[in-house]
Amino acid sequence: VGTGAGLPGVVVAVMRENWEVTLLDSLQKRCKFLSDVKERIGLGNATVRWGRAEDVGRDQEEGREAYDIAVARAVAELRVLVELCAPLVRVGGHIVAAKGPSPEEEIVAAGNALEQLNCEGVRV
């Protein structure tokens, strides 16, 4: 989610060739760049998708509960990030959020969102 220049998504796709990786970003310019990278390095297991996480999460056909794992880095505070990512992830899936040096404060602040969206097992 918010793949930016492709970190960590492109790296994951390279390292895990048997995984299907979707690189989601809201800016067409970034998606064009990632499509070029994908073609140049022959990354057949990656799909570049232009869109906003909140819109993709409402897409019953191709977005809602479509993924085992959602990864986000520097997208938003955890309470917002959970609301963006939870609709994308299947029941039993995982949200991986790269956070700064004191994520405990964000976890506490995200308590209501985590509870409302039935997110369990938060680990630092």
pTM, to two decimals: 0.88
Contact 49, 62 (CB under 8 A): no
User: Any idea of the CA torsion for 62, 64, 65, 66, to the nearest 10 degrees?
Assistant: 20
Query: Does any domain span residue 93?
Result: yes
In-domain check, residue 2: no
Residue closest to 95 by CA, chosen among 16, 75, 43: 75
Q: Which amino acid is at 16?
A: R
pLDDT, position 74: 80
| Torsion of the alpha carbons at 84, 90, 92 and 98, rounded to the nearest 10 | -40
Low-confidence ranges of the chain (pLDDT < 70): none
Alpha-carbon span 78 to 113, nearest angstrom: 9
- Residue 121's pLDDT is 83
Task: Note the pLDDT of residue 100.
Answer: 85
Residue 37 placed within a domain: yes
Phi, psi values for residue 22, rounded to 5°: -105, 125
CATH number for the domain that contains residue 109 = 3.40.50.150
Range 13-33 burial, b when 16+ CB lie within 10 A, else e: beeeeeeebbbbbbeeebbeb
Q: Where in the sequence is the domain holding 53, given as residue range(s)?
A: 9-116
Does 14 map to a domain? yes
Q: Give the number of domains in the chain.
A: 1
Q: Are 6 and 12 in contact (CB under 8 A)?
A: no
pLDDT for res 83: 95
Contact 23, 45 (CB under 8 A): no
Residue 77 maps to a domain: yes
Residue 81 located in a structural domain: yes
Q: Does any domain span residue 1?
A: no
